[in-house]
Amino acid sequence: MDTTIERSDTQQTQAAPATGRPRVVIIGGGFGGLNAARKFRHAPVDVTVIDRSNHFLFQPLLYQVATAELSPADISAPIRGVLRGQRNTRTVLANVTDVDVERREVIATDLGDGDEHRIPYDYLIIATGAHESYFGHNEWAERAPGLKSISDATAIRREILLAFETAELESDRERIEELMTFVIVGGGPTGVEMAGAIADLARKGIRRDFRAIDTAKARVLLVEAGPRLLPMFPKGLSKKAWGALRRLGVEVWLNAAVKQVDADGVVVGDKHIRAQTVIWAAGVQASPAAQWLGVAPAKAGRVTVGPDLTVEGHPEIYVLGDTASALDRDGQPLPGVASVAIQQGHYAARAILERARKHDPAAPLAPFRYFDRGYLATVGRTYAIGEIGPLQLSGFPAWAVWAGVHIAYLIGFRNRVLVLMQWLWKYLTFQRSARLITRDPRETRAGFLPTSYHRQ
């Protein structure tokens, strides 16, 4: 029995043993992909999960890693560990570079030796998420990082904490003001939550730890190009979020588009704001899945899918989450939130199993229906806003719901307990337990090591 798959034109690599069962390949170990994979736990299929990271990341709490509230391990879990109990599932750490839709093979590059592998499928699920969009100004990325990965979060945490440390040693007043100015671009949930968390950190979390500077005087500026914050919420709740940010000392600029990001800060309208730290939360761009599939991309590079989440002409290919351009029953685009990806992952798994049972990859299916559980966003330590059906919440009750939902969505009992304990500790003491300034690897390679590490 042949158990190899093509590695390149001349090389072979060992594959999972052939069983004669349908082969399901899932690209992406996020909310959509991982939830789809877990649905196949006892199913008569062979599953391969491919991701270029070895861990699942709970992105909604990533901003808390960036602001020293949580550690990376609190909101992540190894994909292999999550799926270890599924004997029909294997995990592959690789970077997908293309999909051969004619031969039904995923082309991926090994992260270890860089070799190319071809992984065959009968059904394919693409749930590769999205990355930052700088609206044609990719050169801004170096000075205004986004927040999509643990590496992003720890780098931003380093910049925030190092800004205060540098200001402590600075004597020039203008330079201190620049170091203690933080600009967040984008008034969506990530931007609002980041702005509130930084303000909370500066005014409560670290104020008593410094002697030469008053961290409470830090300037936190949230810049939004549109007319209001959090446009997915009702206007009344958006206004309450704006008020909560103002009470935290955050400056909110609306109808204010960023025209330039440079080494000294940002240009908003005709004003140049000198700032040491700029964080981008203004837009997203889907992964290159449309290019892999050879289809015309929709808005933000997403892949247009039908009511059953498949690509036109390819009923065996499902696209989920931020990678997909899908419509709800009213013809409106589905939002790019975790609950959409989770529900789509469950639907795709059920659809594949039904079609596999009928031995017909194009068998008619009931369309995907999204159950809207509402929206939640937190502002600062214990304030949030929420819309759940006809119910609108704000303040501590909304924060309690927000906390409960996020704890429930975390993967693993350990992570739930750790996050809950960290939040309780922060509530009682205002302290942040994850205030680590990690060294930039580029500095280490350049020889900027602590004195004790240099040879005498």
Spatial separation of the C-alpha atoms in residues 308 and 218, rounded to whole Å: 49
Here the CATH number for the domain that contains residue 189 is 3.50.50.100
Q: Which of 69, 105, 159, 193 is catalytic?
A: 193
Q: Is the domain of 102 the same as that of 143?
A: no
Q: Residue 433's pLDDT is what? A: 66
Q: Is the domain of 183 the same as that of 268?
A: yes
Spatial separation of the C-alpha atoms in residues 309 and 344, rounded to whole Å: 8
E-strand spans in 194-276?
Answer: 219-223, 250-253, 258-262, 265-268, 271-274
Q: Is the domain of 271 the same as that of 182?
A: yes
Amino acid at 152: D
Query: In DSSP terms, which residues pair with 91 in a beta bridge?
Result: 49
DSSP-derived secondary structure for 290-358:
HHHHT----GGGPEE--TTSEETTEEEEEE-GGGEE-B-TTSPBPP-SHHHHHHHHHHHHHHHHHHHHT
Q: Is the domain of 302 the same as that of 275?
A: no
Tell me the three state secondary structure of residue 430.
Answer: coil
Q: For the chain, what is the domain count?
A: 2
Q: Residue 118's pLDDT is what? A: 97
Here the CATH number for the domain that contains residue 302 is 3.50.50.60
Q: Is the domain of 272 the same as that of 145?
A: yes
Q: Is the domain of 212 the same as that of 175?
A: yes
Q: Is the domain of 255 the same as that of 147?
A: yes
Q: Is the domain of 184 the same as that of 307?
A: no
CA distance to 25, 314, 345, 352, per residue, from 359 (Å): 17, 15, 21, 10
pTM score over 0.95: no
Closest Cα partner for 36 from 23, 52, 49?
A: 49
Residue 6 is a catalytic residue: no
Q: Residue 436's pLDDT is what? A: 80
What's the token pair of residue 376? 């939640």
Q: Is the domain of 123 the same as that of 147?
A: no
Q: Which domain holds residue 264?
A: 138-282
How confident is the chain (456 residues) per 10-residue block, as mean pLDDT? 39 54 97 97 97 95 93 93 96 97 96 92 96 93 94 95 96 96 97 96 92 96 96 95 97 96 94 96 93 95 96 97 90 90 97 94 92 92 92 95 91 82 74 73 49 36
Last residue of a domain, one of 219, 252, 282: 282
Q: Residue 13's pLDDT is what? A: 44
Last residue of a domain, one of 357, 383, 405: 357
Does 433 map to a domain? Answer: no
Last residue of a domain, one of 240, 267, 282: 282
Spatial separation of the C-alpha atoms in residues 304 and 289, rounded to whole Å: 11
